Amino acid sequence: MYFKLTRKRYRDQVYEHLQLVESYREGGRTRQRVLHSFGNLAGASERERRRLVLSLKRALGLEPAPPSVAVLDSRHYADLLALRKLWEDLQLPALLQRLMRERAVEFEVERVAFLMVAHRLLDPGSKLALVRWLPQVYLEGFDVERVQVQHCYRALDLLHAHRFEIEEALFLRLSDLFKRDLSLVFYDLTSTYFEGDGPPEAAYGYSRDRRGDQKQLVIALAVDGRGLPITHLVFAGNRVDHQTLEEALGHLQERFRIERAIFVADGGVMTDANVDRLIASPYQHLVALPKRRALARELAAQVEWTLDDVVGENVMARRIERDGLTYLVCYNPERAEQEAQIRQRRLDRTREALADLQRQVTAGTLCEHDAIVSAAASILATTRTRKYFHVHSAGDGHFAWQPHADVLAQATALEGYYFLQTDAPDLSPAAILGAYKTLQQVEHAFRELKDTIELRPLYHYADRRVGGHLFVCLLAYLLERLLELRLEAAGCPQTARAALEKLEPIHLVRTQVGDQLFDCITQRRSPGADAILRALDLAPLPAVLTP
């Protein structure tokens, strides 16, 4: 027996009859007879025909078993997709592919570079940790599991070799993406230490990480008013801050053709010699004047505050012209209270520790002169109160200490004050304040590099590899800052960290149904995820991708 579909035309109608037919032999010939007709199917939809087939199978006891379903893996999708979109907006794929054309490289340097940058933002760790992380991510059109740790090391070398070309191309691209205001350039430095000896340029120096026991490098970063990096420079670990300025100015003038700008930096960079150097250059300067200078005390003594000096919430400022320079004396009462509380806590800790040391000396438990002096020096260094106290040990079991009342009085008198110096005569007090506060963008950049992106500690030992690692971290910060600017422009301002955390639950789930594979995108969204995707022109996401 078998089923047969017969078609007949009657007048202008076509009829399709489904019949159950049986074959038999008669007179040596094969004949057919209809056992049952299931009626006209000409108007039946595909769904109705499928239902008929399934019902016949059930009637015959041939109902098929449901196909097997297996979830093979789940991978990062939306967070990596967002970073890739920003990377492509910067035109980095085409740039890196062009730079690598003449090099005999047997792997995709651009993709490996991107994955190293994304790893810094999503799950920072070593290059070996990166290779272990890759099976958890999806990058369209690229088999991430082919990446080996030696590819990462080679990519670091190549990034370092082409860092200037990449920086200059990014400078032009960012100028196209934004109406870039380069009237202000912000400059600051940090240091990063090494586990072990580090590269040849590593040296002992002033450590901002409070790791004077480790060799380090000094890193300089220049950014624009939006916090977007312009360039970075790497110096030996024993390079003093103010000795980096001349080289940085050379890069800004020669590589980026920034002809005029106000150079904003902190007092550690701006020595008198560097201020003179800037005055002689096309650049102007804006710098914080350290409170310890006699000039700061002289300026504060000239000011008697009035309501006309209020320039913002809890901020007063007075402009004073002197010797061809403009000084802005600023006072913040909230800052004064905070500084007073911080100083008092440090002084209390110091007095308590020195009194305890004095009791040990008196009791005879600590007798040696060198040990007493060393203990006192350690207390003052730990609490950072060396300038506020005088300590004395005669080496005969005697120890005494007393505060420097005049030094403490000078410091107390300047609580809440800060002093800015510039040779830009057209800047108003509010503009000077705003420009200096923007210097915090550079400080924010260094905090991101060290904390979120985990710049330190470094375990590489070749200059080129260390340079490549630092450049990867800088590119990660650039993507982070670019994401924040995109979200701000779209009306959903937030930190890049918060945005990436909202995108993280959106995964690609590879599922096998029978003998077919499906790459499905999880549809569950955390609050705000769709707004982030729209800001990056990534919404709506597909439900299924072709594996």
User: How high does pLDDT run on average in the chain?
Assistant: 87
- The more confident residue out of 93 and 203 is 93
Tens-digit pLDDT profile for residues 496-516: 999 999 999 999 998 888 778
When pLDDT is cut at 50, 70 and 90, the band that residue 204 belongs to is confident
pLDDT in tens, 8-50: 887 778 888 888 888 888 877 888 888 888 788 777 787 887 8
Confidence band of 529 (pLDDT split at 50, 70, 90): very high
**352 occurs within a structural domain:** yes
Higher pLDDT, 372 or 198: 372
Is the confidence at residue 197, as pLDDT, over 80?
Answer: no
Domain final position from 413, 441, 472: 413
Q: For the chain, how many helices (H) and strands (E)? A: 18, 18
Going by pLDDT thresholds of 50, 70 and 90, the confidence category of residue 523 is confident
The CA distance from 274 to 423, in Å, is 13
Domain boundary among 413, 441, 469: 413
Residue 63 pLDDT grade (very low, low, confident, very high; cuts 50, 70, 90): low
User: Lowest-confidence range among 170-174, 395-399, 455-459?
Assistant: 455-459
β-pair partners for 118:
none
Query: Which of 389, 413, 437 is the endpoint of a domain?
Result: 413
Distance of alpha carbon 295 from the chain centroid: 39
**Domain membership flag for residue 33:** yes
Confidence bin at 396 (pLDDT 50/70/90): low
Which of 216-225, 261-270, 327-336 shows the highest mean pLDDT? 327-336
CB distance 388 to 294 below 8 Å? no
420 falls within a domain: no
DSSP per-residue string spanning 338-406: HHHHHHHHHHHHHHHHHHHHHHHHHHTS---HHHHHHHHHHHHHHHT-GGGEEEEE-SSS-EEEEE-HH
Contact 480, 451 (CB under 8 A): no
Determine the pLDDT at residue 453.
Answer: 64
> Quick one: average pLDDT of 385-405?
85
* Position 14 in a domain: yes
> How many other β-carbons are positioned within 10 Å of the β-carbon of residue 289?
19
Q: Is the pLDDT of residue 64 over 70?
A: no
Is 75 part of any domain?
A: no
pLDDT reported for residue 531: 94
In a domain, 198, yes or no: no
Going by pLDDT thresholds of 50, 70 and 90, the confidence category of residue 485 is very high
**How high is the pLDDT of residue 363?**
85
In a domain, 392, yes or no: yes
350 pLDDT tier (thresholds 50, 70, 90): very high
What SS3 class is residue 272?
helix
Q: Summarize pLDDT for 160-190 with one digit per residue, the tens.
A: 999 999 999 999 999 999 888 888 888 888 8
Q: Residue 381 sits in which domain range?
A: 335-413
Hey, what amino acid is at 414?
L
What is the 3-state composition of the chain as percent helix, strand, coil, each rounded to the nearest 5?
Answer: 45, 25, 30
pLDDT for residue 192 is more than 60: yes
Q: Measured at the alpha carbon of residue 56, what is the angle toward residues 50 and 58, in degrees to the nearest 5?
A: 105
Q: What digits encode the pLDDT tens for the residues 299-333? A: 999 999 998 888 878 889 999 998 888 999 999 99
How many structural domains is the chain composed of? Answer: 2
Residue 290 lies in a domain: no
pLDDT value at 77 more than 70? yes
- The whole-number average pLDDT for the span 388-406 is 84
Judge residue 59's burial from the number of C-beta atoms within 10 Å of its C-beta, 0-12 exposed, 13-18 middle, 19 or more buried: exposed
